[in-house]
Amino acid sequence: MWRVDQVVVDGVRLEAGWWQPAEPAAGGAPLVLLHEGLGSVSTWRDFPARLAARTGRGVFAYSRRGHGRSEPRGTGLAMRFMHDEAAVLPRVLDAAGITRAVLVGHSDGGSIALLAAAAIPDRVAALVVEAPHVFVEERSIASIRAIRDRYAGDAQLRARLAAHHRHVDEMFYGWNDVWLGDDFRAWTIGDEIRRVTCPVLALQGLEDEYGTPAHVQAIQRLAAGPVTLSLIQKCGHSPHRDHPEIVLDRVAAFIAQPHG
Q: How far apart are CA 147 and CA 144, in angstroms?
A: 5
pLDDT, one tens digit for every residue, the chain (260 residues): 456 689 999 999 999 999 999 888 878 999 999 999 999 999 999 999 999 999 999 999 999 999 999 999 998 899 999 999 999 999 999 999 999 999 999 999 999 999 999 999 999 999 999 999 999 999 999 999 999 999 999 999 999 999 999 999 999 999 999 999 999 999 999 999 999 999 999 999 999 999 999 999 999 999 999 999 999 999 999 999 999 999 999 999 999 987 65
Q: Phi/psi at 126 (nearest 5 deg)?
A: -165, 165
Cα pseudo-dihedral 133, 139, 145, 146, rounded to 10: -120
Complete domains list, the chain, with CATH:
2-255 (3.40.50.1820)
Q: Residue 240 carries which side chain, given as an amino acid letter?
A: H
Q: How far apart are CA 134 and CA 152, in angstroms?
A: 28
User: Could you please report the per-residue DSSP string of 34-76?
Assistant: E--TT--TGGGTTHHHHHHHHH-S-EEEEPPTTSTTSPP-SS-
SS3 call for 128: strand
Contact 211, 219 (CB under 8 A): no
**Dihedral sign (CA 144, 148, 149, 151):** positive
For 42, residues 6+ apart whose C-beta sits below 8 A from its C-beta are 68, 163, 164
Give the closest residue to 142 by CA, choosing from 152, 134, 150.
150
Q: Residue 60 carries which side chain, given as an amino acid letter?
A: F
